Structure 1
Amino acid sequence: MDHSAVFTALDKVCEENICVLSGPSESPYGTVTKRLVACMRKIRQHGRALEPVVASFTAVYHHYDFDAQTPANGYRTLVKVLQSCLVHIIHKGRYIASNCRGAFFRAEHNAAEMEAYCSALCQLRALLHLAQRLIHDNAHGHLYSPQDADLSDRFVQEYSSMHKACFYGRCLGFQFSPALRPFLQTIVISMVSYGETYGRQQSGIGTAALSLLTSGKYVINPELRGAEFERITQNLDLHFWKSFWNVTESDILSGFTRIASNPVQVNLTLTVPPESLRLPLASDPRLSTSVSPPVAHWGPGPVHMRLISYDLRDGQDSEELLGFSPGDVAPIASPRLPWLQKKPPSPWLLIHFHGGGFVAQTSRSHENYLRNWSKELSVPVLSVDYSLSPEAPFPRALEECFYAYCWALKHCHLLGSTAERVCLAGDSAGGNLCITVSMKALTAGIRVPDGIMAAYPATLLTTDASPSRLLTLIDPLLPLGVLSRCINAYAGSDFQTIQPSERRGSLSALGRDTALLLSDLTQGASNWIQSLLDPTRTAPRQGTDHRRASAGAATAGTADILHYPDGFEPLRSECHAYVLPTSYPVIRNPFVSPLLAPTGLLKGLPPVHLVASALDALLDDSVMFAKKLRAMGQAVTLTVVDDLPHGFLSLAQVCKETQFACDICVSRIRMVFQPDAAGASPQT
């Protein structure tokens, strides 16, 4: 849609509403009408100020694209998000102008809706101003400037004090595909309800189930929902996020996943002991090198993996492989049936590293798409359950993933593969590990994988400002406060040298929570009924680090806040965020942030296929990494899908748009396995 046409339509609908609502006939809604008129005037003012700003972006943002066939970068995304907001306002404004005199017009509801979008428009105007500063201060064609720490610090300061609740209430998910909005609303309501009960129990399905009974007020009061979500995303600690994200690991939710995804013949958990491996050198297979087991922080330890295969293949039911599986697991349900025939080993092997911000989840919560991949590609999938931060910060996860890769190469015959072609695949943090494991293979002199498929990877683990990172102000799935906590956890900012006593800390509480659930149901039902009767009632805010919140408020209050033009000022939050700076030297390590890697560490990487979303806060990570690889002459492709959030692989079955994006990932993996059948070589 033409941007000038959108602004023209916005100005027209504002004028129409002001005339209708301020007409000579007396309105039956009194003060509500005055609120609407004042709101439309503010929207008109914002629109007129924003039109030349958008025009300045549209004149230059093509310089920041990967190529002409991939029109995507953070500047384009900010304009796209603004346009989505304006279109919502135009549609709502036309409805108000046409129906405001009707007997069934919900004046209070429509006024609240328009005021929420007016607040969102105000904050988006502030983001575009910050983006203008980035264009001015960064080098031509560069989406971020790691040398300009002052600009990044000011961005964090702005984030800490700016109002965000409007994006999590009535305006929630307006920028994404309409089919995703009910799902996002469910996630946000679940999160704020979970945050209300957080602290009463450690984690797990008990808290999650109780939260469902206390969520009524957040359904009927979007403003309360937005305010609570802003508080949670800004000031609850990392343990809350680990606990909430790991609810997907519960038997109930993972059972639903198995029902909705393809059944597989093999679903086997493996525990590989920490033993040295010998692998041939890539330069001369007659020579070999030793690969040590992971040792960082607490010494040698086992590596956990999951083997998924749609078909049973030779080697997958061998006694040698089953010896790596815990005795209490029944991973191969049907291979012992007499009519089931084993297939020969696949020439391909897919090794997967899951996402979760380096702090949460396992292969279990990613099974839904891994099962489908195994069927669609007819390939065994080995997913690595690496140790999580903050208990296991860098480089433990990288060491475990690299060891798992080497073990898979040496023992591919047990996995149902000859490993003629090997692809690494991962999303978010897992995408980062795909790249860094390949870098370690290069430095070790062993075989590198034949290709990488990284979905929305994190390639720069800092809070350096970039236009797409500005989206962390409005993103319900990846707010800056949460992103910085994950980064600092992986960097080891809060690490104590204690070996985790349990492999997956999130699962240990599930049995205990289930036992506690029955005793809480009565109280939960009572709270739910009361919340419906009194939507303004809120529970004690547990889990907030008040010391950090106060420190954040003080920092934001005394900081050198950016100045805005023409007397404009964004809305400020009463609940200031505390964002830890990502200033630890390890963050700049190229094996943490591969975007910062020198040419020598990236030269020789296999073809890299990046799949990103235009509305993801990490979009610029993919764009800049793809540009860097192309400038070095490395084979790389970048595909950017529209209207989807970060983490879309886990949402593959939610709507057709996410399924389409997942299909693109499958096609990129197939390009690694069948390069001659792909139809075209990767862009270089």
Structure 2
Amino acid sequence: MTDNTDFEDSFTSPHGFVDPRQSIMQTVMHMVEDNVLHFKNDESEHGQRLHSGFRALKDNLEKVSAQADLVKREVSLYDFSADVPGNGFRSFTNIVHKAVLCVFDLCKQVCTNRDSIILFRKGHYVREVEAWGQTLASIATLLDYVTDVLMPKCKDGNLLPDKSDSPVELLTVLNTVSQYSFYGRCLGFHYYESLQKTLKFLNISMSAFSEVYYSDGGFIQRTKQSVITGGKYVMDPEQRARRIVDVVQYSSVDFIKAFWSLAETELLTQVPGIVGPSLAFQQAIVVPCEDQQVPKVDGTATVVIQAPHSHLPPSPITCHLLSAHLREGMLGEKDRKGVTVLPPSPYLILHCHGGGFVTQSTKAQEVFLREWAVGVGVPLLSVDYSLAPEAQYPRALEELLIVYSWVLNNSQLLGSSATKIIFTGDSAGGNLVTGLTLKCLELGIRPPDGLFLAYTPFVFQIVPSPARLLAIMDPMLPLGFALRCLKAYAGQPSRNASLATSPVDGITMMLGQQPKMLPSTAEHPEDIPATLEVPASSNTMNQVPSDAQSDTESFVEVTETDVQEAKAGLSKEVTNMSKSPSIISEPGSDTLTTVSLTSKASEIEDFKKSNGKNQSKKENKEERSKRYVTEFLEKYVLDSRTDKQGRSVPILRTGSDESESDETVLFEASNSGTGIGARLGRAKDAVFTGISSGLSSFGLRRRETVPSPTSPSSPQEPSQSKRPSLGKISLGTTHLRRESGCSLLDEFSGVELISDHYISPLTASHELLAKFPPTSIMSVEYDFCLDDCVTMAKLLRKLGVPVTLDVLDRLPHGFLNLSLVSKEAHDGCKLAVTRMRQLLQMDEEVATEFSTTSV
């Protein structure tokens, strides 16, 4: 990762000359001051707003520049190495630098066009200047906390403070920051340009989808509403920002599952096969949910691992095998005529997908898994584990262990001799395969020969690290989404919640408090899956030595009779329960304007059980629909103004005076190559541009006399606006917070998360971590999990484990899923292929000594 925080570089002035003595900040400040003076005597409404907006820019630029300089002095203390600069503190200084560059471009446009009556659109630039003023004000608030609180806590290069009041401390800070600016006009300013339009498209889609998801009515009504709301959010960035913040703050995990599952629709899952590299073999493989016997590495015994059944009855586990070549022994290989069959590969990749433990599948991630299978050239088996909240921790980990055990016994069916096996995973999948590695080491069975982990969380706590703060401006993984995924996977309703259905006799941790040990015996011992050891020289059952087990052992030893009784009991249960799919709720089941805004899931359930029933009796469907429409119109669609007779009349809130070039191009494919991928990308751009142009042809333009949602309230015309200007907000004359009945702080202040070393690998013993295989960790500059990755890499290096760390510039969490639409994301995908080949030591040129590198 390159250091973009050098504020002393020379820069080209708007007049075309370069002054090597003048820094970027000095240039920008000079331009801002010039605009302040220029608009000081402009008595029009927009002129005065530009004057106050540039004043706000000046004040906030000075503040964030001084704060960034303080942080910059110490950022190198937290890096992995001099060759790999990257940590949450450094990311903040880079964000300031990117913001300064964006303000420079804006000031340059104003200075160039402000004297032109035709080219200078005052209304457009008013909103741009006010938006950047608010963005800088929010960054300044975050930097205040970083410099005053976090840096004193993070001593000796430690990015994860040992003691904190999390999550109360973190959420309290974030609750004081206005998030609207990060999801409006300034959305994704710190990412590569190749990604900014795609991220804007995703956020417009989420805004429109949320209204459809939380609406009442049939298919036709929802479809019509989707078209209308989609056009509204294209034209009005401020309205889009308000909607996104509401969705992030108050939507349930069911909405998250439904929205992210759009990537698994039949149409989108066809795209990788059309534009991506071709595969010779791609097939679903169902791994039976039954006991597996795996020999210990030392040959002293055979470990028998019972089939998983925590939270859900035992059910087969679906996996997908992808391979660029057809190999001997593969399932169905003999049925393929006329295809070259290669010998079994000595290598195998076991992959676990991301998705916050609650959504996604192999099909959704095929966009980069194809690249990996072809680039590495070995069979790749991806596991579709059961999803939360139906299948909470540790169900997914149990299924992963069963699949791995089955692979060790049946690798020939995958076209591999399994001489070398590596585990790969991104995000939640990286956490799962890391926990699986710990489990293998504890059980004494064969561990993987390497680990590739992409943007992986290694600490399951809401600690206020600098990188955690970055989630407040993340369009791919917003803070509210991340927290609800953690809660769905490992959340407990209270400290006294029973773990009877969980095979973990582990630790539950109240967020922000020290771990507390639970009793070592479960309430229902028969529910605990078992691991048995069969001595190599005898058929009798032996126990593992006491020192081989931890207090939080998930797989305890029982007698063979106990296992048979457990199986008999389970056979009576329903075994064909489906895995937790991502299902869109029924119409009217929830709405962002009513019950779903409560802060706790228990309150929602209580409402549905009591008030919800009474409501349905008192109010028929037609009346309820009218009420929802009225609330929706008042909240999102209608504004008001005063007519000539002094009456307040409703008008359509239609957006801003944005040029079509600013807001209509939503999605842009990578321009590299001239093949079918490039042709499809151009066709896709044309479709989206056509749709957007069609929407704009309806005449959804705000007249100059109608103020925008961010216009200041004029004393002479009090009814012309409902919201204060962003310029006033930036100057501190008002405080913008949407009034609501709940917040993330209310929802998570009393939440408990299960915490043991399988789910938080950084808490594992150093003796165990020292046994890790060579590990390659990849993270990104503005990632929620960046500090986790840096800290894990440092710890493994300290323990003597061969490790590489890559911190990629200006890419978001989950960038691998965007490799088809961004050259930089695709380059990161190819780097992942290189790291995997290094772990497998496949080529002489890449099998050199494992060293630290960066991009």
Measure how far apart 1:593 and its partner are: 1.2
> What secondary structure sits across from 1:637 in the alignment?
strand
* Aligned with residue 678 of structure 1, among 846, 850, 853: 846
Shift of 1:679: 4.7
What is the match of residue 577 of structure 1? 743
Distance 1:354 1:204, change over 3 A: farther
Scaled by the length of structure 2, the TM-score of the pair is: 0.68
CA distance in 2, matches of 1:171, 1:500: 48
Residue 64 of structure 2: aligned partner = 50
- 2:318 is the counterpart of 1:307: no
| Deviation digits for residues 381-426 of structure 1 (CA, Å, limit 9, x no counterpart) | 1000000000001000011111111111111000000111101111
State whether structure 2 residue 385 is matched by structure 1 residue 391: no
- Structure 2 partner of 1:3: 7
Q: Tell me if structure 2 keeps the 8 A contact 1:204–1:506.
A: no
Change (3 A) 1:574 1:167: farther
1:265 maps to 280
Q: What is aligned with 2:342?
A: 343
> Structure 1 pair 594/573, CA: closer, same or farther in 2 (3 Å)?
farther
Q: Counterpart amino acid of 1:37?
A: H
State the Cα distance separating 1:50 from its structure 2 match.
Answer: 2.6
Distance 1:607 1:618 in 2: 21
Return the letter of the residue paired with 1:477. M
Q: In structure 1, how many angstroms separate the alpha carbons of the residues matched to 2:155 and 2:221?
A: 51
Cα distance in 1 between the residues matched to 2:579 and 2:771: 35
Counterparts of 1:420-459 in structure 2 under 5 Å? 420-459=419-458
Equivalent residue number for residue 143 of structure 1: 159
Structure 2 residue aligned with 1:168: 183
Task: Identify the structure with the greater helix proportion.
Answer: 1
In 2, Cα distance between the equivalents of 1:202 and 1:644? 39
Question: Could you tell me how far apart the structure 1 residues matched to 2:457 and 2:295 are?
Answer: 31
Contact 1:626/1:638, CA 8 A, preserved across alignment: yes
- Identity over aligned pairs, percent: 32
Structure 1: 5+ residue stretches without partners: 319-331, 511-522, 537-565
Offset, 1:200: 4.3
Alignment correspondent of 2:415: 416
Pairing 1:642–2:816 present: no
Q: Is 1:505 the equivalent of 2:504?
A: no
TM-score normalised according to structure 1 size: 0.85
Specify which of 18, 33, 42 is matched with residue 15 of structure 1. Answer: 33
Q: Are residues 341 and 6 of structure 1, via their aligned partners in 2, closer, same or farther at CA, if it must alter by over 3 Å?
A: same
The alpha carbon displacement at 1:191 in A equals 0.2
Of 265, 271, 286, which residue of structure 2 is paired with 1:256? 271
What letter corresponds to residue 121 of structure 1 in structure 2? L
Structure 1 residues 296 and 574: CA distance shift in structure 2, 3 A = same
Counterpart in the other structure of 1:323 = none
Supply the AA of the counterpart residue of 1:93. C
Match of 2:361 in 1: 362
Q: Equivalents in 2 of 1:206, 1:63: separation in Å?
A: 57
Look up the match of 2:508: none
Separation (CA, whole Å) in 2 of partners of 1:144 and 1:439 = 21
The question of whether the paired residues in 2 share the 8 Å contact of 1:61 and 1:76 is answered with: yes
With over 3 angstroms needed to count, the CA separation of the structure-2 counterparts of 1:499 and 1:568, relative to structure 1, is farther
1:612 equivalenced with 2:612 (yes/no) = no
* Change over 3 Å in CA distance of 1:578–1:105 after alignment to 2: same
Q: Distance in 2 between matches of 1:450 and 1:289?
A: 20
- Partner in structure 2 of residue 660 of structure 1: 827
Q: 1:406 to 1:249 in 2, by over 3 A?
A: same
Quote the offset at 1:204 in angstroms. 12
Structure 2 counterpart of 1:484, one-letter code: L
The AA in structure 1 aligned to 2:67 is: V
Query: Is this contact kept in 2: 1:390–1:492, CA < 8 A?
Result: no
Query: In 2, distance between residues paired with 1:532 and 1:258?
Result: 37
Root-mean-square deviation (CA, aligned residues, Å) is 3.0
Q: Is residue 162–residue 573 contact of structure 1 (8 Å, CA) maintained in 2?
A: no
Closer, same or farther: CA 457–308 of 1 in aligned 2, 3 Å: same
What is the SS of the residue equivalent to 2:129?
Answer: helix
Deviation at 1:502, TM superposition (A): 2.2
Is the CA contact (8 Å cut-off) linking 2:492 and 2:753 kept in structure 1?
no
Equivalent residue of 1:307, what SS?
Answer: strand
Matching residue of 2:464? 465
The CA deviation at 1:573 is 4.4
Q: Tell me by how many angstroms 1:529 deviates.
A: 6.9
- Residue 274 of structure 1 is matched in structure 2 by 289
Instruction: Count the aligned residue pairs.
Output: 619
Task: Tell me, yes or no, if the aligned pair for 2:141 and 2:177 is still in contact at 8 Å.
Answer: no
Q: Which amino acid aligns with 1:288?
A: T
Mapped to 2, the partners of 1:101 and 1:221 lie a distance apart of 26
Partner Cα separation in structure 2 for residue 239 and residue 205 of structure 1: 23
Partner of 1:88, secondary structure, is helix
Q: Which residue of 1 aligns with 2:243?
A: 228
Q: 1:295 is aligned with what amino acid? A: H
CA-to-partner distance for each residue in 1:132-176, whole Å, 9 max, x for gaps?
Answer: 1100123221112142125x4222112234211111111011010
Superposed displacement of residue 237, structure 1:
0.6
- The Cα shift of 1:338 comes to 3.3
Write the distance in 2 (CA, Å) between the matches of 1:658 and 1:160: 32
What secondary structure is seen at the aligned counterpart in 1 of 2:804? strand
Whole-angstrom CA distance in 1 between matches of 2:104 and 2:80: 32
Deviation at 1:340, TM superposition (A): 1.2
Of the three residues 760, 776, 791, the one matched with 1:593 is 760
What is the rounded CA distance, in whole Å, between the counterparts of 2:27 and 2:483 in structure 1?
Answer: 39
Paired residues for 1:314-329 under 5 Å: 314-318=328-332
